[in-house]
A and B are shown apart, each in its own frame.
Chain A
Amino acid sequence: MKIICLVKFTPDVDQFQYDYEKNILIRENVKLVINPDDACALGFALGLKKKTPEVVIEAVTMGPLNVTAMMADILRRKVDLATILSDRQYVGSDTYATSRIIGKYLETADYDVILTGSHSRDGDTAQIPGQLAEYLKLNQISQIRKIDQPSMLNKRALVEVDSEKYLETYEIPLPAILSVGRESNYRLPFVRYDDLDLDVSDRLRIIDNDSLAVDSKKIGLKGSPTKVIKSYPIDYQKKEQVIVKNDDQGIDMVMAFLEKEGYL
């Protein structure tokens, strides 16, 4: 079985510091990390591969070449093949153009199932999996909390989906695009100590638009129909910090606070 996992690298927004005086995010030294939903999808795939070693996993991303080191780390986590779709012409692509680029690659790729995350953490977008499904004429489902491992191998995936009100179970014939949510808690394994410096260059490939040959009018800024009317930053409120002593007065203050907030 061949699984393609689509991954995106996003700023680690959990580690942002906030300048409350200027009301801006401090972006210096913020690392890129695998989008958490994508990490869960990849974690599921690697879990399946651990139980069924013949499963082959390819990770695919679109982005600048500075993600190469992170894709190499994905390979060190036991992924078989990594593909980076990267070209200057792709800069500024919205989700529609991005779906077109990735879709063009996937048209020629070999797979039994495509796994993605449900949401992207940086812009809270969720369009790519659906747009890709449209492009590839595949079924797609988001907000997956659980995938039944044996069903994947039987080519009809049983998935549990969080529809906010209910947990629903669907059976989907493969190939399909299965989009996993962070709540699934599928854990992406770390690179093992012995593999930290493993040479993976022979399993990492970079594909540019000379190879992919997407119409240059349909990619980048000029190929992106999305028009942003308004954007606004999240208004973070500085939390008040109160330090109390470890005495009766301090304990009373903590108890009163917990009662006020409804914890007691």
Chain B
Amino acid sequence: MTKEIVLEGLKKLLTNEQINVDADDLYDATADRYKKYAKAKKVLDNPSPCAIVYPKNSSEVSDLLMFCNQNQVNVIPRSGKTATEGGLENWKELAVVIDGKNLNEIVNIDTYNMQATIQAGVALQDLEDELRKVGYTTGHSPQSKPVAQYGGLVATRSIGQLSTLYGGIEDMVVGLECVFPNGHISRIKNVPRRAGGPDIRHIAIGNEGTLCYITEVTIKIFKHFPENNKFYGYLIKDIDTGIKVLREVFTNSYRPSVARAYSEEDARQHFYHFHKDKCVLIFMAEGPQAIVEATGAGIEEAVEKFQEGIIEQVDSSLIEDWFNHLNWSQQDIDDEVEEMINNDSHSGYTTEISADWATVSQIYDNVIKRIRSEFRFADDLTMLGGHSSHSYLNGTNMYFVYQYTINCEPEDEFRMYHHPLQTIIVEETLKLGGSMCHHHGIGKYRNQWTRQEHGSAYYMLETLKEAFDPKGIMSYGNIYYQEDAAKYQQ
């Protein structure tokens, strides 16, 4: 099988307009934001896909998957293109990107049953805009909201900035349709709950393109009360104080939509106008008036309990202003790439983990200490810190943030900086029993720890792959470690 034969085969399934072989677009499809610096500098060394294709319906997705399955062509499902962990990177000579661009229909908004059905390529922002017109919201608000699309959001177990009230995407998906490599189309029906065996939605949710292609999802929608929003902000002594207040709020069953604690370093870049070189704790209470009032009271009560760690309260309008400018747009992404093309230098990344309340501060301290003492290029770090931004009854996440001056060739950047830093974070997290990835997905550069992440339960993950994708054509390298592809990681 050659690229030419693959293209011939695709032409039998789709129109010419549905097949993109533009050289710039194929280069763009070669990697995602994990290698954003090397990509901007045009030095990627992994193969480009043969084509990007745009099916118009599930039937065409089915035909495409069967063709690729029969001919051992790697398939990279894509919609939104905001991946940060290598999930959209290609490691195979023969590969086809199936993009959800034409699966762009908002099928139904059902305010009576509080659910909306959308195809994979519908942008989250577009659905949100439609829902706002009728007083509803998706409740899903990742920073990538203006760009992200539903197929990608569901496939990566996305989470939004309001997750502590509305939940992660896995709490929102009611039902879905997905297509398997053998061409089989499965529809999981939309019901409030059922005890009909294991919850099979979770085979598709978070599969990162390794098991199936998600074509349609039905999600919950929520009534929206933005006029009631209340914001709270505090300068605090240390991040541990922030974690303790967060725990107090959540274990008392309050559900603010935003609840975050920032280290000094991270606060400096987010809250330049008021941080005073201190850690920052913020909340947003959202919903019907009575719930907002009760949530606010719960926040104030928790803050009062840990008063010795609270330095001062911040004007709430500053928090509101920050929140209203939080998302990044396609223009922000393009500007960042342009900056990297023009200048040899600065890049920033994040790695997100989760752990229970008892260990998350310890993980944070261990990671920071180890990076400072062990990371070979620690002198090049211009920022190292983190924040907790998604809390649960039994624990929270930690979003490590690091920026550095790049003193190496673009080809080596991820090997010298991002990956060694991520390695320390993952190792310290797994050592204390946390999860190495909270909401970005495993992608390709954390797959070497997937087995350790899941322990004896890895058997289940492995068996899913064998059952649904026995030829291994789906998103080669995502989630599952591939010995043959280690050259792209090391």
Distance in angstroms from A132 CB to nearest chain B CB is 30
As a 0/1 sequence over residues 403 to 435 of chain B, the CB contacts with chain A under 8 angstroms (1 = contact) are 000011101100110000000000000000000
Q: Is the CB of B379 within 8 A of A31?
A: yes
| Distance to closest chain B CB from A196 (angstroms) | 8
Q: How far is the CB of B272 from chain A (nearest CB, A)?
A: 7
Interface check B273, CB cutoff 8 A: yes
Inter-subunit contact B321/A193 (CB<8 Å): no
Q: How far, in whole Å, are A68 and B118 apart by their CA atoms in the complex? A: 63
Partner of B412, one of A192, A243, A246: A192
Q: Is B194 an interface residue (CB 8 A)?
A: no
Least CB distance, B297 to chain A, in whole angstroms: 29
A16 beta carbon closer than 8 Å to chain B? no
Does A190 contact B409, Cβ atoms closer than 8 Å? Answer: yes
Q: Report which of B272, B273, B409, B416 forms a contact with A189, defined as CB distance below 8 A.
A: B409
Q: How many residues of B contact A (CB 8 A)?
A: 13
Contact with B along A181-196 (1 / 0, CB 8 A): 0000000011111001
**Contact A243/B408 with A31-B379, A193-B415, A193-B416 known, Cβ cut-off 8 Å:** no
Question: Which of the residues B273, B376, B407, B409 comes within 8 Å of A245, measured between beta carbons?
Answer: B273
Interchain CB contact (< 8 A) of B407 among A190, A192, A243, A246: A190
Question: B321's contact among A31, A189, A192, A245, by CB below 8 Å, is which?
Answer: A245
Partner of B325, one of A191, A243, A246: A246
Interface residues on A, range: 10 to 19
Shortest Cβ gap from B104 to chain A (Å): 33
A245 neighbours in B (Cβ, 8 Å): 273, 321
CA distance A245 to B321 in the complex (A): 9
- In the complex, A192→B410 CA distance in Å? 10
Q: Which residues of A contact B416 (CB under 8 A)?
A: 193, 196
B273 touches A190 (CB 8 A): no
Closest to B413 in A: A193
> Which of A193, A196, A243 has most chain B Cβ within 10 Å?
A193
How long is the Cα–Cα vector from A31 to B409 in the complex, in angstroms?
Answer: 20
CA distance A141 to B325 in the complex (A): 54
* Cα-based distance from A193 to B376 in the complex (angstroms): 12
Interface positions, chain B 246-264, Cβ under 8 Å from A, are: none
Give the CA-CA distance A193 to B321 in the complex, in Å: 43
Residues B391-406 near A (CB distance < 8 A): none
Q: Could you say which residues of chain A place their CB within 8 Å of the CB of B325?
A: 246
B329 CB → nearest A CB, Å: 15
Q: From B322, which residue of chain A is reached at the shortest CB distance?
A: A246
Those of A22-61 within 8 Å (CB) of chain B:
31
- By a CB distance below 8 angstroms, the chain A residues around B411 are 192-193
Name the residue on A nearest B410 (C-beta): A190
1/0 per residue, CB under 8 A from A, across B133-157: the answer is: 0000000000000000000000000
A101 to B85, CA, bound (A): 54
The residues of B that contact A192 with a CB separation of less than 8 Å are 408-409, 411-412
> From residue 371 to 386 of chain B, which have CB atoms closer than 8 A to chain A?
376, 379
**Complex Cα–Cα for A189 and B415 (A):** 17
Known contacts A31-B379, A245-B273: does B321 contact A190 (CB below 8 Å)? Answer: no
A70 to B309, CA, bound (A): 45
- Beyond A243-B273, A246-B321, list 13 extra A-B contacts (CB 8 Å): A31-B379, A190-B409, A190-B412, A192-B409, A192-B411, A192-B412, A193-B409, A193-B415, A193-B416, A196-B416, A243-B272, A245-B273, A246-B325
- Can you report 19 residue pairs joining A to B where beta carbons are below 8 Å apart? A31-B379, A189-B409, A190-B407, A190-B412, A192-B408, A192-B409, A192-B412, A193-B408, A193-B409, A193-B411, A193-B412, A193-B415, A193-B416, A196-B376, A196-B416, A243-B273, A245-B273, A245-B321, A246-B321
